[in-house]
């Protein structure tokens, strides 16, 4: 009995492999045979909080109405070129359904150029153009040529060496395409160096914690010289007795 069952399973497996191979061969050699046999009837989209669902469906149909013939890589590239879309995974479910899972960009900052204003992700990716008067003013403001391309590296360093600083920053300005100036919510300016930014952030954290800089009349901290911090004050004398460091 067991031997007979094994034979049935083997015959079934062989038949399925043969049938699959035959279908694959015919689909490659004679694609017209399967044309219009798997028309797309259902397009299921998830993760489209800000993306336009109907626009994405239209992109699918514009690529191909046939589930078998539609090229997923080509469709993926088209959808990922849309505003808000960061990444997309697509799966065919025969006979008539295509599943689309979207990961959207998460606005991290506002990039301000001489002409336009854009929402950008933490990796510097442009999301969408916005009006300067209507964007979320709780977001960081990023300025300077190539600043969006260098933003992620700076944020990583801040998160490693002085993570609580992020919530205090109002504006990040990339100066001369090589270093950053930070403007805090209390208008304190911090000038970071070209190199050894991590070490400078550690020193800055020490100033904040040990010298209570935020509670003083210091309006600028210049960290551009390695190992030193030059302080500019509002009235000429530093509160709390902070000396040159």
Q: Residue 149: which CATH number? A: 3.40.50.11690
Instruction: Tell me how far the alpha carbon of residue 69 is from its chain's centroid.
Output: 31
Domain coverage including residue 122? 109-241
Mean pLDDT of the chain: 86
Domain count, the chain: 2
Determine, yes or no, domain membership for 201: yes
Report the predicted TM-score, pTM, of the whole model to 2 decimal places.
Answer: 0.74
Asked if omega into 95 is within 30° of 0 (cis), the reply is yes
Full strand arrangement of the beta sheet holding 189-191: 126-129, 117-120, 109-112, 140-143, 169-175, 179-184, 189-191, 218-222, 230-233
Q: In terms of domains, do 99 and 117 share one?
A: no
Whether residue 10 has pLDDT greater than 50: yes
Which range has the worst mean pLDDT, 10-24, 48-62, 86-100? 10-24
Q: In terms of domains, do 133 and 223 share one?
A: yes
Q: What is the pLDDT of residues 134-190, one digit of tens each?
A: 777 789 999 999 999 999 999 999 999 999 999 999 999 999 999 999 999 999 999
The pLDDT assigned to 22 comes to 61
Angle CA(46)–CA(52)–CA(57) in degrees, nearest 5? 70
Q: In terms of domains, do 127 and 41 share one?
A: no
Least Cα distance to 59 among 81, 36, 92, 91 occurs for: 81
């Amino acid at each position: 009995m067991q031997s007979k069952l094994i034979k049935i399973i083997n015959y079934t497996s062989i038949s399925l492999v043969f049938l699959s191979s035959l279908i694959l061969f015919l689909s490659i050699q004679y694609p017209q045979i399967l044309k219009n046999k798997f028309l797309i009837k259902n397009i299921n989209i998830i993760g489209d909080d800000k993306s336009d669902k109907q626009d994405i469906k239209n992109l699918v149909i514009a690529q191909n109405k046939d589930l078998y013939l539609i090229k997923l890589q080509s469709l993926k590239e088209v959808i990922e070129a849309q505003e808000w879309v960061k990444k997309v995974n697509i799966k065919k479910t025969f006979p008539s359904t295509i599943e689309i899972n979207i990961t959207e960009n998460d606005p991290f900052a506002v990039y301000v150029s001489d002409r336009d204003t854009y929402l950008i992700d933490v990796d510097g990716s442009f999301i969408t153009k916005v009006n300067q008067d209507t964007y979320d003013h709780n977001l960081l403001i990023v300025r300077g040529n190539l600043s969006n391309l260098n933003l992620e590296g700076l944020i990583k360093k801040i998160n490693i060496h002085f993570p609580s600083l992020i919530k205090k920053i109002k504006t990040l300005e990339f100066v001369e395409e090589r270093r950053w100036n930070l403007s805090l919510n209390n208008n304190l300016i911090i000038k970071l160096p070209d190199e050894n930014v991590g070490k400078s952030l550690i020193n800055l954290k020490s100033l904040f914690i040990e010298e209570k800089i935020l509670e003083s009349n210091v309006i600028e901290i210049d960290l551009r010289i390695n190992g030193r911090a030059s302080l500019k004050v509002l009235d000429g004398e530093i509160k709390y007795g902070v000396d040159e460091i």
